[in-house]
Amino acid sequence: MNQMPPFPSPSHGPHEAPDTTQSLPGAPAAAPSSSPFGTPAAASTTAPKRGRGRLGLAAAVVGTSLLVGGAAGLGGAAAWNAMDDEPAGSPAATAGPSSSQVASSPDSEAPTGRVEAVASSVLPSVVKLDVSGAQGSGSGSGIILSSDGQILTNNHVVEVAGESGEITVSFNDGSKASARILGTDPLTDTAVIQAEDVSGLTAASIGDSASLDVGQEVVAIGSPFGLESTVTSGIVSALNRPVDVGADADGNRTTYPAIQTDAAINPGNSGGPLVDMDGNVIGINSSIRSASTGSEAGSIGLGFAIPIDAVLPIVEQMAAGETPTHAKLGVSVQDVADATGVEVTEGAQVGTISDDSPAGAAGLRPGDVITKVDDATITGADSLVATIRTYRPGDEVTLTYVRDGESETTKVTLDSDAEESSS
C-alpha cells in the first residue's frame, strides 16, 4: 500500500510540539553523528549514527545525570531530618545511642512470574550491538533467535554499518563476536544479523503478541545509553498504536501497529525484547515519544515496541536470505481531517487507486473513506498502513468504508509488493 506520495502519512505521526515520536537513537561517538537507537559514546562507549531524527546522548552527560541523581537523594534525606524535629518512632531524648542492626538477606530463588525470574531467564538471550560505518557509529540491542547466532534487531540499529561497516555483538557472559547482516526491512524497522563462529547460545522464547491485554505486565531488556543488560518493567499501556517514524528516500514509510508501554525505554534499548511475565518475546523495542529533542530526549513513559506476530514471517524471510514482502492494498490515502466533503470524522480517505490493484477489483473508488479492516478500527492513514502490514500477501480481508454518507463493506484479497519498493 502506498501513501501520498506513495501512501501519505504524517511524518512522526500527529502530536503536539515539542513532543516527538522517533526511533530510539544511538549514542553518538566521540564526534557525534546522528545514529540509530543506542548509547552515546564518549570515552569507552560508541553510539550509532542517528537516522530519521534519532537522537544520541553523550556519555559524559550520562555520568553527570547519575551523579546528580545520587546527590538529589542525599539532599532529600537531609531536608527531611531538618524539618522533622521528632519523627514518629524516634528514640526519646534520654535514650542512649543506638546503631544499625545487620540483618541476614538470603538469596532465595525468585518466584515464577516476578521480574527477577523473568530477567534471569531472558538476559542470556539479549545482546548489545556496537555498530560502526562510514557515516558514524552507535549501539543498540538484539534478540538471539538461534543457538548458532542469528539475531533479531532493528533496521535503524544496523543500517549505519552499510556495506562495509562493522558490527560487534556482546553476549551476556562477557564474550564478543563480529556479525554480518543477513537481511533488513526498513518498512517494519527490522533486521536479522549473523554472529560469526558462535554456538551453544540461548535462543529467546517467542510469544504471542496477539493475546496481549492492556494493563498486562511486561519487562523490557536492552542496553540504554550503552548500559548493557538493563532491565525495566511496566505494563502494556495501549495496543495497535499506529507509529510512523519517518520515510526513506523513496517515500516508503516505516509504520507499524505498536505495543505501547510505560516500561522505561531509552536510546540503546532499540532492538531489544519486550517480554511477558513468562519470559516470552512479544515485541521489539523500537521507538519512544519524547517531550524533548536533541541530546535531551529520553523516556517519559511512552515507549513503543513492534508486535512480534506482525513481523515474524518477515523475520523468517530475512533469516533465510530472502527479500521481505508485504501485503498491498494498492491505494494512496490521507487522513480524513486533511480532506474535505466527507461526512465521517475519522478514517483513511482513498486518493488514487493503482491499476489492477486489489482495491480497484473490490470496487473501491477515490473519495471512499475506509473505517475498518476486519474488526480493526481505522483512525487515519497511518492506522490503515499499520493494519494492512499485519497481514500477508494473499490474505482476504473485509473493508468497511463510507461513500456518500453510507457505510458499505467489500472483501479484498491483498496483493504482494514483491516487485515494488513500496507497500
For 32-79, give the DSSP string.
----BB----SSS---PPP-TT-----HHHHHHHHHHHHHHHHHHHHH
Side chain identity at residue 23, one-letter code: S
Evaluated on CA atoms 285, 290, 292, 298, the torsion sign reads negative
The CA angle 118-124-127, to the nearest 5 degrees, is: 115
CA-to-CA distance for 129 and 141, rounded, in angstroms? Answer: 5
**270 catalytic, yes or no?**
yes
Beta bridge partners of residue 384, listed in sequence order: none
Catalytic residue among 137, 209, 270, 354: 270
| Coil vs helix vs strand at 80 | helix
Side chain identity at residue 34, one-letter code: S
Grid coordinates representing 387 are 493494519
Beta bridge partners of residue 141, listed in sequence order: 128
**326 catalytic, yes or no?**
no
17: Cα within 13 Å, side-chain hemisphere: 0
Catalytic residue among 34, 141, 156, 237: 156
Give the chain's end-to-end CA distance (angstroms, integer). 4
Catalytic residue among 121, 132, 139, 189: 189
3-state helix, strand, coil split of the chain in percent (to 5) is 20, 35, 50
Secondary structure of 199-249 as H, E, C letters = CCCCCCEECCHHHCCCCCEEEEEECHHHCCCEEEEEEEEEEEEEEEEEECC
C-alpha distance from residue 221 to each of 8, 104, 233, 422 (Å): 34, 30, 9, 32
Q: Which residues are catalytic?
A: 156, 189, 270
